[in-house]
Amino acid sequence: MLLNDKTVIITGASRGIGAAAALECARQGANLVIGYSGSPTSKGQVDELIQQIEAQGRKAVAVGAPAEDPDTGAALVAAAVEHFSGVDVFVNNAGICPFHSFLDMPRETYLKTVDTNLNGAYFAVQAAANQMKEQGRGGAIIAVSSISALVGGAMQTHYTPTKAGLLSLMQSCAVALGPYGIRCNAVLPGTIETDINRDDLSDTDKRQYMESRTPLGRLGRPDDLAGPIVFLASDMARYVTGASLLVDGGMFVNLQ
């Protein structure tokens, strides 16, 4: 039990990477605040996840609120305080990637992506950090960045800057929050099969190309991120802050 009786908030935990991480945190003894957009279509998945968490003997509550709203972080923290008396771990995971070419990028698509992935995250991390500081027992903050923080993508010119921004945010917050015992780290997933890239990967050639680029020979699954997130959240990573962990099956180093 790496997270026994800890309270973990995860944004974007209705499905994909966030849901897999939430379930593993529960297996490791944590209670959860599940963040999601509030969309009625995701509510069923959230209810199912809460049942799975409760089957592990842990508790979970859901907060449906848009990640792009600067007040959403405070609402997530308020739920953690109300139901579990505080917050130990904050995982900023909610994100969108509406693939689009650069020269005709609609202004609203760019702004929505930056607001959802980065601007909302800034204020959510700030809200979690203030609560952790007030509690006085440290904490762990993890941003789900991306391999896209390190490489470009013609259809992701709006997305990659948000992921580089999250990585940079964790580096600066590690410095700002170290004196309070709050560790800040990033995970950088490679290509993980989720709803975010379902359309992109339905192109068989693209899919085979991505698999062929991956030394471990397969695309990632959401639960491939669960272990790295739990590790960075846990006391096993007590001297790890300002770090980034690629979780990509080796794709990034496979250039030649």
Contacting positions for ligand NAP (CB under 6 A): 12-18, 36-37, 39, 42, 66-68, 93-97, 116, 144, 146, 189, 191-192, 194-197
The active-site residue, picked from 14, 110, 148, 159, is 159
- Among residues 112, 120, 74, 128, the alpha carbon closest in space to that of 94 is found at 120
194 or 234: CB nearest ligand NAP: 194
For residues 192 and 225, is the Cβ–Cβ distance under 8 A? yes
Hey, is 88 helix, strand or coil?
coil
SS3 per-residue string spanning 49-72 = HHHHHHHCCCCEEEEECCCCCCCH
The active-site residue, picked from 146, 148, 206, 234, is 146
16 or 139: CB nearest ligand NAP: 16
Active site residue 206: no
Instruction: Tell me the one-letter amino acid at 34.
Output: I
The active-site residue, picked from 6, 14, 36, 163, is 163
Active site residue 146: yes
94 or 174: CB nearest ligand NAP: 94
Hey, is 19 helix, strand or coil?
helix
CB of 4 to ligand NAP, least distance (A): 25
CB of 229 to ligand NAP, least distance (A): 11
96 or 173: CB nearest ligand NAP: 96
String of DSSP letters for 117-130: IIIHHHHHHHHHHH
Interatomic CA distance for residues 77 and 30, integer angstroms:
15
For residues 244 and 228, is the Cβ–Cβ distance under 8 A? no
CB of 61 to ligand NAP, least distance (A): 15
- Point out the residues that are catalytic: 146, 159, 163
